[in-house]
Structure 1
Amino acid sequence: MQQLKVCELFAGVGGFRLGLEKTGHYNVVWSNQWEPSTKAQHASLVYEAKFGPKNHSNVNIEEVPTSEVPDHDILVGGFPCQDYSVATTLKNSKGLIGKKGVLWWSIHRILSEKKIKPKYLFLENVDRLLKSPSNQRGRDFAVMLRSLNDLGYAVEWRVINAADYGMPQRRRRVFFLGYHKSTAIYKKFKSSPPKEWLLEQGVISSAFPTQSAVQNMDSFFLEENLVSLSDSFNSDKGLSPFLNSGVCIDGKVSTLKSSPSYGENRTVLSDVLENGSASENLFIPEGDLPKWQYLKGGKKEIRKTKAGFEYNYSEGSMVFPDALDQPSRTIITGEGGKSPSRFKHVVQTSAGLRRLSPVELERLNMFPDNHTKLDGISDTKRAFFMGNALVVGVVEQMGNALFQKIKNLEKQFQS
């Protein structure tokens, strides 16, 4: 079976591409990366420096005509988490528009307008997606599942914490795979009991094994009309009905809470450190230490708003410095820069306390060393990239499992 052609949207600095290309089974035929609020397109510059400018688009995806996106087998991307509510256009009651700037609708548009639709989707988002927005928990994900269902896709999803599977960072993200009804996987999926697919037969469970679920599975149907689904889904403001694993096929959602199953071989924070080669400017000056200790410590204090209103503020303490014998905490976009912060990582080394280097942050996301190193790109910006990136190892394992499943099922259905 030859390589699958990939279209990579919201490419960032290329985490999806790295993971998929590492398997040897995928070939990126087109990519798009656009940072809306900045003049300098730093992530796109890094992407081009690593993978070359050919077939790479650095234009707002909302302004790229579908005709410019080449045909592909699999569409991938970590799209931004936004408000996915639905409205209709006045001219056309069936016309579906999300708010401008809500980039889910760009994926939707490409899938709608492509004559030859991609057979597979591989998408990623923050796990909050399953329970947003707060006044209608789960609505955004319900709208996505229903709209993908209407375009001919069955979907399976799982919230994966990379550290649960031996990777060096505790980073929880929801990954979902879509299978077009023309594929062998879709046919197998449709004939399998949802629980078996989720725990044993599905692509995600073969990449990331689970313990057998103890509790029952919940099932419900998604309303067909997207606008009324958007208006009324879970409007009694209860908990989100979407648990950390699930499937949606023919408008029916089946969801359960699964737990990871993994052996002993784990990577921890000490495994990624640059011992002895970290830059001097990462070390914390003695004078700054009290500020770091205050920010990382527990607090119960009275604070004042700008308007003079007093309120009680409290927060727990954080491990300081960070534990070296555990996977790291989640990297956030504000990880770079010298200023003391509650959320930046600080490690104790023989030479003193210091922040993490750009290379160490890359390693925590399983990127190659210096992947983001480029003239004109600051260390703070490199840290920002890693706060936005995904863990490459998760993509690689999922990509391998998907390819194997396609290969095996195509043989089965042909024979």
Structure 2
Amino acid sequence: MAISVVSLFSGGGGLDLGFKKAGFDIKWAIDNNKNAVSTYKKNIGNHIVCADINTIDLESIPHADVVIGGPPCQSFSLAGKRDVEDERGQLVWRYIQIIKQVDPKAFVFENVTGILSAKNAKGEKVVELLKSAFIEIGYSISTKVVNAADYGIPQKRKRVIIVGLKDGYSFQFPTETHCEDGTGLKRYVSVEEALGDLPLAVEDEKGVTEYLVEAQSEYQGKMRCEGKITEHFIPQMSELDKYIISHVKPGGNYMDVPADVNSARIRRLQRDGGHTTCYGRLKPDEPSYTINTYFNRPNVGCNIHYSEDRLITVREALRLQSFPDSYELVSSSKQGKHLIVGNAVPPILAEIIAEKLKNYI
């Protein structure tokens, strides 16, 4: 019998895709973002509810063997105050209420590394309050900062994963399979290994095109689908951004741009330093940096294509997040697509954790 799952803060379903691939049965999911819910339905199933998790009737949530998902990170400045009026501040405690209600054998909680240093108004560490609350309702807790690149995803994406198990068991995280130099393990999957088989991006905003060459790496082979590729359109850029991008070399950033550029921000960065990935171009032989929700902008992260003078496409961002090419986005806006992609858990990482979790359930 398949292991049943309830998914919270599901977004476009990165965690869910991985658990589904590992053979888990996702019975129920929830998110309050209409675009994410529409995308989830297109790719995973109709069992997702579009609603505010703070107002949902807890009795309506089915019991399940596993609960997956993590509250958005905005909540952590206030999370320790259980009586806060700000709804975002209540999300982490709402998560615990749902765990208590559903009473799963295990849960998987994912979040940004900022949760490790976040404190409430009393100066108490949020992550310690969270662990104590989970222990109080009967779970043994294992916590790890996981780098997606260590598991074969072409992205240096660090996230905190907390796994809780009932009955005194302690979860051992999957052993890393990849490392930077390949000593004793496989070498990190690089950007070029992830994207090198994709055709030239198109002007049409639907971004529909097709493969022109065979897969050139194991990773590309995993990602490819039957039929056409979607979301592979050239992002819009200003003339200034085009000028800036044309000067940045692979692995470089704003320091490569001529000092007479018509941008006060770049001149300030060149003078003061910091934000080293700002206006960054990907290196073909290394994983990307974290794909965020603003990968359509050159000034927020390292989002310039490694060999072409443009920003990465939505499809390329999906590839770097380990979403298969068969995954389709449904959104009323471009920014809606970027939010779904940038906020997601890489599905391959989710699948690896799900496979390990089977041993305990």
Q: Identify the match of residue 43 of structure 2 among 47, 50, 58.
A: 50
Aligned residue type for 2:13: G
* Whole-angstrom CA distance in 2 between matches of 1:210 and 1:370: 25
Runs of 4+ in 1 over 6 A off after TM superposition: 134-138, 283-286
Is the 2:293–2:339 contact (alpha carbons within 8 Å) kept by the matching residues of 1?
A: yes
What is residue 88 of structure 2 aligned with on the other side?
101
Once the two structures are TM-superposed, the CA of residue 391 in structure 1 deviates from its matched residue by 1.3
What is residue 213 of structure 2 aligned with on the other side?
none
Q: Pairwise mapping of residues 157-196 of structure 1 onto structure 2 (< 5 A)?
A: 157-181=143-167, 186=168, 188-189=169-170
Tell whether 2:11 aligns with 1:12. Answer: yes
Is the 1:296–1:342 contact (alpha carbons within 8 Å) kept by the matching residues of 2?
A: no
Normalised by the length of structure 2, the TM-score is: 0.76
What is residue 241 of structure 2 aligned with on the other side?
288
* Whole-angstrom CA distance in 2 between matches of 1:70 and 1:291: 52
What is residue 319 of structure 2 aligned with on the other side?
363
Once the two structures are TM-superposed, the CA of residue 86 in structure 1 deviates from its matched residue by 3.6
Structure with bigger strand share is 1
Cα separation, partners in 2 of 1:136 and 1:99, compared to 1, 3 Å: same
* Whole-angstrom CA distance in 1 between matches of 2:202 and 2:41: 27
Normalised by the length of structure 1, the TM-score is: 0.66
* Whole-angstrom CA distance in 2 between matches of 1:284 and 1:324: 22
* Whole-angstrom CA distance in 1 between matches of 2:360 and 2:13: 24
SS of corresponding position for 1:63: coil
SS of corresponding position for 1:381: helix
Per-residue Cα deviation, 1:43-76 (whole angstroms, up to 9, x for no partner): 11111122232x3211101111111000111110
Tell whether 2:67 aligns with 1:75. Answer: yes
Is the 2:178–2:185 contact (alpha carbons within 8 Å) kept by the matching residues of 1?
A: no
Cα separation, partners in 2 of 1:348 and 1:17, compared to 1, 3 Å: closer
- Please say which structure displays the higher CA radius of gyration: 1
What is residue 172 of structure 2 aligned with on the other side?
203
With 340-349 and 264-273 compared, the bigger mean Cα shift is at: 340-349
What is residue 269 of structure 1 aligned with on the other side?
191
Is the 1:48–1:56 contact (alpha carbons within 8 Å) kept by the matching residues of 2?
A: yes
* Whole-angstrom CA distance in 2 between matches of 1:58 and 1:142: 31
Cα separation, partners in 2 of 1:152 and 1:21, compared to 1, 3 Å: same
Tell whether 2:207 aligns with 1:279. Answer: no
Q: Identify the match of residue 61 of structure 1 among 53, 61, 73.
A: 53
Aligned residue type for 2:98: I
Task: Provide the aligned length of Structure 1 versus Structure 2.
Answer: 311
Cα separation, partners in 2 of 1:267 and 1:122, compared to 1, 3 Å: same
Once the two structures are TM-superposed, the CA of residue 79 in structure 1 deviates from its matched residue by 1.6
Is the 1:279–1:357 contact (alpha carbons within 8 Å) kept by the matching residues of 2?
A: no
Is the 2:81–2:120 contact (alpha carbons within 8 Å) kept by the matching residues of 1?
A: no
What is residue 211 of structure 2 aligned with on the other side?
none
* Whole-angstrom CA distance in 2 between matches of 1:282 and 1:111: 41
- The RMSD of aligned alpha carbons is 3.4
What is residue 21 of structure 2 aligned with on the other side?
22
Once the two structures are TM-superposed, the CA of residue 384 in structure 1 deviates from its matched residue by 2.3
Is the 1:13–1:47 contact (alpha carbons within 8 Å) kept by the matching residues of 2?
A: yes
Once the two structures are TM-superposed, the CA of residue 405 in structure 1 deviates from its matched residue by 3.5
Tell whether 2:321 aligns with 1:321. Answer: no
* Whole-angstrom CA distance in 1 between matches of 2:186 and 2:27: 38
Cα separation, partners in 2 of 1:297 and 1:75, compared to 1, 3 Å: same
SS of corresponding position for 1:315: coil
Is the 1:15–1:389 contact (alpha carbons within 8 Å) kept by the matching residues of 2?
A: yes
Is the 2:139–2:164 contact (alpha carbons within 8 Å) kept by the matching residues of 1?
A: yes
Per-residue Cα deviation, 1:93-120 (whole angstroms, up to 9, x for no partner): xxxx785333111112223344xx1110
* Whole-angstrom CA distance in 2 between matches of 1:72 and 1:134: 31
Tell whether 2:120 aligns with 1:122. Answer: no
Is the 1:166–1:262 contact (alpha carbons within 8 Å) kept by the matching residues of 2?
A: no
What is residue 330 of structure 1 aligned with on the other side?
290
What is residue 110 of structure 1 aligned with on the other side?
98
Cα separation, partners in 2 of 1:369 and 1:275, compared to 1, 3 Å: closer
Is the 2:150–2:177 contact (alpha carbons within 8 Å) kept by the matching residues of 1?
A: no
Once the two structures are TM-superposed, the CA of residue 165 in structure 1 deviates from its matched residue by 2.7
Once the two structures are TM-superposed, the CA of residue 162 in structure 1 deviates from its matched residue by 0.8
Once the two structures are TM-superposed, the CA of residue 209 in structure 1 deviates from its matched residue by 7.2
Per-residue Cα deviation, 1:291-344 (whole angstroms, up to 9, x for no partner): 4459932499xx99xxxxxxx8432654843101000111111112xx542525
* Whole-angstrom CA distance in 1 between matches of 2:334 and 2:101: 40
Is the 1:157–1:175 contact (alpha carbons within 8 Å) kept by the matching residues of 2?
A: yes
SS of corresponding position for 1:72: coil
* Whole-angstrom CA distance in 1 between matches of 2:178 and 2:295: 32
* Whole-angstrom CA distance in 2 between matches of 1:71 and 1:163: 34
Once the two structures are TM-superposed, the CA of residue 348 in structure 1 deviates from its matched residue by 3.9
What is residue 341 of structure 1 aligned with on the other side?
299
Is the 1:129–1:138 contact (alpha carbons within 8 Å) kept by the matching residues of 2?
A: no
Q: Pairwise mapping of residues 224-303 of structure 1 onto structure 2 (< 5 A)?
A: 263-273=185-195, 275-280=198-203, 281-282=234-235, 288-292=241-245, 296-298=253-255
* Whole-angstrom CA distance in 1 between matches of 2:275 and 2:335: 27
What is residue 145 of structure 1 aligned with on the other side?
131
* Whole-angstrom CA distance in 2 between matches of 1:56 and 1:267: 33
Q: Identify the match of residue 387 of structure 1 among 342, 349, 352.
A: 342
* Whole-angstrom CA distance in 1 between matches of 2:42 and 2:94: 26
Per-residue Cα deviation, 1:355-389 (whole angstroms, up to 9, x for no partner): 11111111111112152433x54444322211111
Aligned residue type for 1:314: G
